[in-house]
Structures are given as structure tokens and as C-alpha cells.
Amino acid sequence: MSHSFLKGLLSAAFGLAVSLSSPFAYAEYNPKLLRIGFQKSGAALTLIKARGTLEKRFSPSGIDVKWIEFPAGPQMLEGLNVGAIDIGYVGEAPPIFAQAAGTDFVYVGYEGASPQAESLLVRKDSPIEKVADIKNKKIALNKGSNVHYFLVKLLEKHGLKYSDIQPVFLAPADARAAFERGSVDAWVIWDPYAAAAEKQAGARVLVDAAGVVKNYGYFLADRTFATKSASVLKQLFEELQKHGEWINRNYAEAAKQVAPLQGLEADIVEKTLRHFSNVFKPITDSVLSEQQQLGDTFFELKLIPKAIRVKDAVLERH
């Protein structure tokens, strides 16, 4: 994995900090403009952007498409908060922090469960052989991220408490460095970081999130945009579903196309693609219930300042 990718993708410590001097320019809702926030780690959106799929689809309607890249979910939600984008794709945790901070957005879609895309890693020569062995050990993780939730639930499943381990909060690039030099005992992380560490650093997957948490991804939209642009959203999800289905039928070819766009090796990208569901659907009540559990857990751990009701961030259905 390239240094620039490691440092650029989710390199800052986790946290939602909406600055008063935001670098984003506010723009009123424009029915002739679709502004999409994306991260290079999102394969389907990356392919759609590279192929100009949405530009071709919306051109007859006179709708322009603007792509805005973000290094991480919190920054993307800052952009959504100040009106710089209409829709973006993030992991499970950023929306919880954003809602607790007062950001007005709505859930409009999700990517299906991808539990194999996050793992607890140990070094190849580590004496740690089972989850119970991490008691009193130093575990590197990105604070408040989806893997934070995974770790809490993993400990719970194996009869341990969160207080039984020593969390070491590090962004992915710093966590990998600490992991490799042995200053932490294990690292809980998501793909493509996990897949890269396996190949490049000889990391061993102790356990992934299968049977522990679902690990969904979410599409969040500006409330005004979501209210007024149902047709645009419908067409966007049609393209996402189409590209996701293509990826799942053509992992190797998809990896070849995505790898240079992400700055990663093709075999690492292919492994990552196989770990994600690549199935995209409009939001459902059952998925929101899963997200509420995450919100409740983070409040119990005092990671967010107040309890939230996830369904407040959904459009009323008629």
C-alpha cells in the first residue's frame, strides 16, 4: 500500500470537528447539480466516477455531476453539514457522531453487511492464539470508528469487558507502524488496511467480524436534496446496484480497474472487494435498528455526549 494512500485515507484521528472557518463553500440546493462526496476506498463509486456513468445518465436531463473527494467520513460529514455536497458514502460510526453533534442529514441507502471487511490482527509470531488472550493487552484502533464497535462486541461475545483491554487510539497509518514495531499487541482494522497488512507485513487474522457485527456502509444525504430529488436518488442507486453486481461477477477485472485509481496493488484490492458485499439498497427499518444499537453502545461508552434516535435522521414515508 502506498504511503500517500495510507496517510491520505482516514489519516486524522477520528472525531467530528465542524470548523467555524470551514474550507467548504456553502451552496443552496440546485436541482440541476448532483454533488457526490466520495472516498477512494469505495470501489463502486470510484468505478462510476472513472467511467463517467452518471454524467452520461443525467446529461439528457441537464443535470451536472460534481465529485468531491474526502479523506474520511468525518470530513465528508463536515462537507454535508455546511452544504458542500448533496450525498456521500461513509461507514457506520461517522453518522452517529454527526447526529450527536447536530448535523442535519438523512439516511437514504446502505451497502449490505460486510463483516469480513474488518479484522483483529496480530503479528505472525504473536503468542496470541484466541480472543481471550488479548486480555490486558494493548489494542490499536481508530477511536469511534466501526472497528471500535466491533471490538466492544467481540470482547462481549468472549466474556470480556472493554476495561479488560488497553485501547491505543491511532489512525490507520500510525496504527500500522505501531503494530509492526511491536508497541501494540494487536490491531483492529478494516480493509483495505487489513488486507495490505496481511500481505505486506505478514499480519495474521485472529478473527474477523463474522458473527459479531454486521458492518454496514451508509449513504447520507442533505435533507432538502433527499426531499426534492427522489428521481435522482433512484437513478443513482440503480447505477450503484448495477456496478456492485458487476464487481461481484468480475472480482479480478474489477480489481485491475480499481487498483490504479486507489493506488493499491491489484491482489489487495481483489481481496478487499471479496470482503465487501457490493450490494446497495435504499435504507430500511431493520438496518436502522442495527444502527441504533451502535448509537446506544457509543453513548454507553461515553463516546458521544448524548443519546440519539437514529430514525430522526430519516425522511418521513408517506
pLDDT given for residue 77 in this prediction? 87
- The mean pLDDT value for 82-103 works out to 91
Q: What is the DSSP letter of 311?
A: G
The per-residue pLDDT of the chain, averaged, comes to: 88
C-alpha radius of gyration, the chain, whole number: 19
pLDDT given for residue 25 in this prediction? 54
Q: Using CA atoms, how far apart are residues 230 and 234, in angstroms rounded to an integer? A: 6
Cell of 185: 499487541
Q: Tell me the per-residue pLDDT of 98-113, one tens digit each, with 9 for 90 and over.
A: 999 999 999 999 999 9
pLDDT given for residue 199 in this prediction? 92
Q: Tell me the per-residue pLDDT of 120-175, one tens digit each, with 9 for 90 and over.
A: 999 999 999 999 999 999 999 988 778 888 999 999 999 999 999 999 999 888 99
**What are the residue boundaries of the structural domains of the chain, listed by start?**
13-114+216-313, 115-208
CATH class held by domain 115-208: alpha beta
Please name which of 201, 184, 44, 195 lies closest in space to residue 118, comparing C-alpha atoms.
195
Fold of 13-114+216-313: D-Maltodextrin-Binding Protein; domain 2 (3.40.190)
Please name which of 142, 112, 151, 147 lies closest in space to residue 276, comparing C-alpha atoms.
112
Strand order of the β-sheet with 138-141 is: 166-169, 138-141, 186-190, 118-122, 204-208
Instruction: Report the run of H or E that residue 266 belongs to, with start and end.
Output: helix 266-275
Task: Give the pairing of strands 217-222 and 87-90.
Answer: antiparallel
Q: Using CA atoms, how far apart are residues 224 and 262, in angstroms rounded to an integer? A: 32
**Of the candidate ranges 8-22, 43-57, 149-163, 255-269, the one whose mean pLDDT is the lowest:** 8-22
Please name which of 293, 141, 123, 114 lies closest in space to residue 218, comparing C-alpha atoms.
114
- Could you check whether 13-114+216-313 and 115-208 share the same CATH topology? yes
Rounded to 5 degrees, what are φ and ψ at 100? -65, -25
Q: Using CA atoms, how far apart are residues 303 and 112, in angstroms rounded to an integer? A: 25
Q: Tell me the per-residue pLDDT of 212-240, one tens digit each, with 9 for 90 and over.
A: 999 999 999 999 999 999 999 999 999 99
Q: Tell me the per-residue pLDDT of 262-278, one tens digit each, with 9 for 90 and over.
A: 888 999 999 999 999 99
Task: Give the pairing of strands 138-141 and 186-190.
Answer: parallel
Q: Using CA atoms, how far apart are residues 136 and 292, in angstroms rounded to an integer? A: 29
Q: Using CA atoms, how far apart are residues 219 and 283, in angstroms rounded to an integer? A: 9
